[in-house]
Amino acid sequence: MPVSAQLAPAAQHDAVPPVIRTIPPVSSGTGAAPVVPLAPAPETSASTPSRASTVSPADGSTTNAPAGVPALQARVTDLTGTLDTARRQGLEQRLAALEQRKGAQVAVLIVPTTAPDTIEQFATRVFDAWKLGRKGTDDGVLLIMAKNDRTLRIEVGYGLEGAIPDAMAGRIIREQIVPRLQAGDYAGGIEAGVAAIEKLVDGEALPAPSANSDESMFSGFSVSELDLAFVIGMTVLFLAGSTLVAGLGAAVASWFFFGTWWAVVAGGVAGLLLSGVLGVLGVKRLFREWLGRGGGGGGSGGGFGGGFGGGRGGRGGFGGGGGFRGGFGGFGGGGGRSGGGGASGRW
């Protein structure tokens, strides 16, 4: 006679009915107990999301990806439109003057949020990417504010941890920045923080800043090439141009190499005197005749006019130094590192 067994499920789910199974009779006479199959495990809804990440239904990507680090293009980067043009330019000029004076690089970053990172995590990632401060000196500082998160941090490079210890960075945040932010004066808070950082950096003994602009301008030339170009250019000016042109050329060259007004005056006077002496000796006349013949035999006047006119045009092209200075007006990190020093705050 068949033996029937009714089993209750191990765990019931609202949508899963009880399971009833019939056990067939045992054909052998051994008297062994029948094997009772187990009830199936409760089913889990397929729509339940994983705890590891939240998946966007649009493209399947997770929504907890770290916030991106913006490109470093200026000393002040405002991604929220908090600072007006005048205040931002004022901070830029102030920080540029500090770098020229002390060599340290200080940058300001304003973002809407650092989520899912904390302000500390995001500040470290930005500092590592921007490499603020000079390589080996590590004299960089980052002042970062997350406006919607109402958090901020001063991240300090290795080389300035003595000038701006954690306790001092915390005081700047609590006493100078936060009260202004709480009053809604965001620009004033940033300016007060920058002023306090600037004062501490000015009081630190740092290696003198190098002439970065000169190094960058001449980086594509060797010393011998520069000397040769200078000698050839000045020779053409002295021998082919008028006395006035020679004097002006010498003054421009003096400014280019020395960058001081006394050098401009001394170079201009020396150029005038040397050009006058060469004119009296007849060297300039002989050179013009030679240059005219080299210009294609069009006569000394025509040959010289074409040749020297082209030379002046080329010299105007060299005014690309103005373009260089515009490029140098941009901003880039110097290879500095952060050791995680600094302080954070909220308002």
Quote the CA–CA distance of 116 and 150 in Å, as a whole number: 14
Least confident of 4-13, 69-78, 328-337: 4-13
DSSP 175: I
Residue with tokens 């997770």: 62
Provide the β-strand partners of residue 143: 108, 154
- Residue 333 has what pLDDT? 81
**Burial class of residue 143 (count of CB atoms within 10 Å of its CB; 0-12, 13-18, 19+):** buried
Domain boundaries, the chain: 76-206+334-346
Highest mean pLDDT among 18-22, 93-97, 281-285: 93-97
Helices 300-318 and 283-294, packing angle to 10 deg: 90
- Residue 6 has what pLDDT? 47
Residue 59's SS3 state is: coil
Answer yes or no: is pLDDT of 216 > 70: no
CATH domain 76-206+334-346 topology: Diaminopimelate Epimerase; Chain A, domain 1 (3.10.310)
For a pLDDT cut of 90, what percent of the chain falls above it?
40
In Å, how far from its chain's centre is CA 328? 13
Answer yes or no: is pLDDT of 189 > 60: yes
* Band (298; pLDDT cuts 50, 70, 90): very low
Mean pLDDT of 125-136: 94
* Mean pLDDT of the residues in the chain: 70
Residue with tokens 């190499």: 257
Give yes or no for a contact between 210 and 223, defined as CB atoms under 8 angstroms apart: no
Interval 69-121: pLDDT, tens = 999 999 999 999 999 999 999 999 999 999 999 999 999 999 999 999 999 99
